Structure 1
Amino acid sequence: MSQRELVVLGTASQAPTRTRNHNGYLLRWDGEGILFDPGEGTQRQLTHADVAASAITRICLTHFHGDHCLGVPGVLQRLAKDKITHPVYAHYPASGAEYFERLRHAAPFHDTNDLREVPVTGDGQIAKGADWTLSVRHLDHRVDAVGYRLVEADGRRMLPDRLAAAGVTGPAIGALQRAGSLTIDGRTVTLDEVSEPRPGQRFAFVMDTRLCDAVYDLAEGVDLLVIESTYLDEDAELAQTYAHLTAAQAARVAAKCGVRRLVLTHFSARYTDPAAFHAEAARHFDGDIVVADDLARVPVPSRR
């Protein structure tokens, strides 16, 4: 069975607190383990979350502010220590290549990693799997920053009652899926007759940014949106000044874009009541709202 869930490793913004570590988010997507924005302490948080370093297949950085990348050295050294042999791809804004080089070699270690850097130079697709694509859009922050969007290809859902009525059983089902049509007892059965469209699942990751078109493009129609809500609306001017979002803004994006599950995170240390973020978001979005906590696990919603 496929496993698709978000493991939350840290939810603080610039300054960690007693209960919130710096950023860190691992998306488990079948055989992929995509580590987004590992801040300080991510290696330890992985241990607390009972996630082995071997689960990581990609590291995706949105930008090079410290709370989003200072965990990279520890993660890479842990991969080497644990003798991970599979390739790990690193995606990050190309303008920060010098910073990534410093992070990668922040301290001497026996570097046996098969780390394959894939700097992001523009908007569009940056990686492709068997049935998914990973793409980016540039955001509006104080430094070069990108957001990520993972999209599974649409497919077909086989309908058992129609298969049975058409006499399609056993290995013939797979043959029909591959060929699109099949002759059974002199009659041609098409895939459309015994199946229905199955929309692929979609995920988006949006960190430090002001509102901009790219935020909406990334969030459009996703099943799970992980988005910063550094401030509450009472501090909207601060959010604009420092190029961040409020919980209300994040919720309005989710409502406009048809998001199914909204995950709020990246909270300023000035706030002590997480419930305030949920209350503010709920005034603008009537879907599923998660105010992220460190070490929480958030499943990708089941298929539509």
Structure 2
Amino acid sequence: MRELVVLGTASQVPTRSRNHNGYFLRWDGEGLLFDPGEGTQRQMIHAGVAASRITRICLTHVHGDHCYGLPGVLSRMALDGVQHPVHLHYPASGGDVVRALVAVSSPGIDLRLHPHGSGGPIAEGLDVRPLKHRIETYGYLLTEPDGRTFLPERLRAAGIRGPDVGRLQREGVLGAARLEEVSIPRPGQRFAIIMDTAPCAGAEELAAGTDLLVTESTFSDDDGGLAQQYLHLTAGQAGELAASGKTRTLVLTHFSSRYGDDVSLLALQARARAPETTVIAAEDLQRIAVPRRRHPVRETSGETTAIGLNHDGSS
């Protein structure tokens, strides 16, 4: 299952209906928790997210609304007896803050600290890019390896069917048939999260080709001056990121309390800049599925349908 669970959508000041930040991503066997702000542990209970599902915690930066929920989450994991290693990724310059937050957590879990001080890969399939904020900040990019999409007419011609399709995918050759002869390339899925930042090259790199992009939308376009002053994005700028990156689904979050519960204006401003993108103004406890993979279609004189593979390689 690949699904985003939104635990909180407020920026610096929570409201009666919006908790501080928190985003849990189910990605096959991984459970990634991004930016657990104050109250994240309680939001997890409301959302039905078990602490035992968390395998990685990723902090974009160490402003309080993005990390003050960390002690509670770690303490709950210790209480629940989580046995697997938990990897904590964060900007290297925030080490003192992170160590202080960890120190007040209940001991008892295998917590592994992974500071990063530059852009690039930090774990298998997980990369960071520097953003432009008042302190060191990074966005996260999760990518699936590129795969193949099978062409049914070529499979039939090669006499390959049923379980043999998955075997050919795994081994690359089956009898006289080679994988590249009966399939075409298919890009893997891409998820990115961009929190506090002004427009920058790192944000553009993160957004490029994303199936699901989560990005801050702290201010409306009408408050662009404030966004520039505090190094945040407006809704329109978030939409521009999605449009330039050809994002399929854009999730807006990290809303200023000045807009109250109704952020429909921000969604409209983002959609105006990204008309080809599905734009969602997130609500607390909302669940958003990662869009199904794009299946490339090869034009032929006959059938053009393609067979895609599931995340585990089965057809």
* TM-score bracket for this pair, using the shorter chain length: over 0.9
Looking at structure 2, the residues matched to 213 and 227 of structure 1 have their Cα atoms a distance apart, in angstroms, of: 15
Q: Quote the residue 1:96 is aligned against.
A: 94
Q: Quote the residue 2:264 is aligned against.
A: 275
Q: Aligned to 1:270, what secondary structure does the other structure show?
A: helix
TM-score, length basis structure 1: 0.93
In the TM superposition, what is the alpha-carbon distance from 1:180 to its structure 2 partner? 2.3
> For each residue in 1:257-287, what CA deviation from the matched residue of structure 2 results, as whole angstroms up to 9, or x when unmatched?
1010000000000012211111111211111
Looking at structure 1, the residues matched to 152 and 75 of structure 2 have their Cα atoms a distance apart, in angstroms, of: 49
C-alpha change, 1:171 and 1:292, in structure 2 (3 Å) is closer
| 1:146 maps to which of 138, 142, 145 | 138
Q: Aligned to 1:149, what secondary structure does the other structure show?
A: strand
Looking at structure 2, the residues matched to 4 and 173 of structure 1 have their Cα atoms a distance apart, in angstroms, of: 23
Looking at structure 1, the residues matched to 153 and 46 of structure 2 have their Cα atoms a distance apart, in angstroms, of: 46
Segments of structure 1 that go 5 or more residues without pairing to the other structure are none
Q: Quote the residue 2:244 is aligned against.
A: 256
> For each residue in 1:137-187, what CA deviation from the matched residue of structure 2 results, as whole angstroms up to 9, or x when unmatched?
11110011110011111011234443233112355434422332232xxxx
Looking at structure 2, the residues matched to 223 and 171 of structure 1 have their Cα atoms a distance apart, in angstroms, of: 29
Q: Does residue 58 of structure 1 match 2:34?
A: no
Looking at structure 1, the residues matched to 220 and 156 of structure 2 have their Cα atoms a distance apart, in angstroms, of: 55
C-alpha change, 1:139 and 1:33, in structure 2 (3 Å) is same
In the TM superposition, what is the alpha-carbon distance from 1:192 to its structure 2 partner? 2.0
Q: Quote the residue 1:70 is aligned against.
A: 68
Q: Aligned to 2:204, what secondary structure does the other structure show?
A: helix
Tell me which amino acid in the other structure corresponds to 2:250: L
Q: Quote the residue 2:282 is aligned against.
A: 292
**After superposition, where does 1:1-304 map in structure 2 within 5 Å?**
3-106=1-104, 109=106, 111-128=107-124, 133-183=125-175, 188-272=176-260, 273-286=262-275, 287-304=277-294
Tell me which amino acid in the other structure corresponds to 2:194: V
Looking at structure 2, the residues matched to 172 and 276 of structure 1 have their Cα atoms a distance apart, in angstroms, of: 52
Tell me which amino acid in the other structure corresponds to 2:122: I
Looking at structure 1, the residues matched to 126 and 7 of structure 2 have their Cα atoms a distance apart, in angstroms, of: 21
> For each residue in 1:195-241, what CA deviation from the matched residue of structure 2 results, as whole angstroms up to 9, or x when unmatched?
22221000110000111111101101100110001000111010011
Q: Aligned to 2:57, what secondary structure does the other structure show?
A: strand
Q: Aligned to 2:257, what secondary structure does the other structure show?
A: coil
> For each residue in 1:92-132, what CA deviation from the matched residue of structure 2 results, as whole angstroms up to 9, or x when unmatched?
0011111101001125x3x110111111121100000xxxx
Tell me which amino acid in the other structure corresponds to 1:276: L
User: How many residue pairs align between the two structures?
Assistant: 292
Tell me which amino acid in the other structure corresponds to 2:71: P
Looking at structure 2, the residues matched to 45 and 268 of structure 1 have their Cα atoms a distance apart, in angstroms, of: 19
Q: Identity of aligned pairs, percent?
A: 58
C-alpha change, 1:278 and 1:73, in structure 2 (3 Å) is same
Q: Aligned to 2:273, what secondary structure does the other structure show?
A: coil
TM-score, length basis structure 2: 0.90
Tell me which amino acid in the other structure corresponds to 1:295: L
Looking at structure 2, the residues matched to 41 and 194 of structure 1 have their Cα atoms a distance apart, in angstroms, of: 51
Tell me which amino acid in the other structure corresponds to 2:154: R
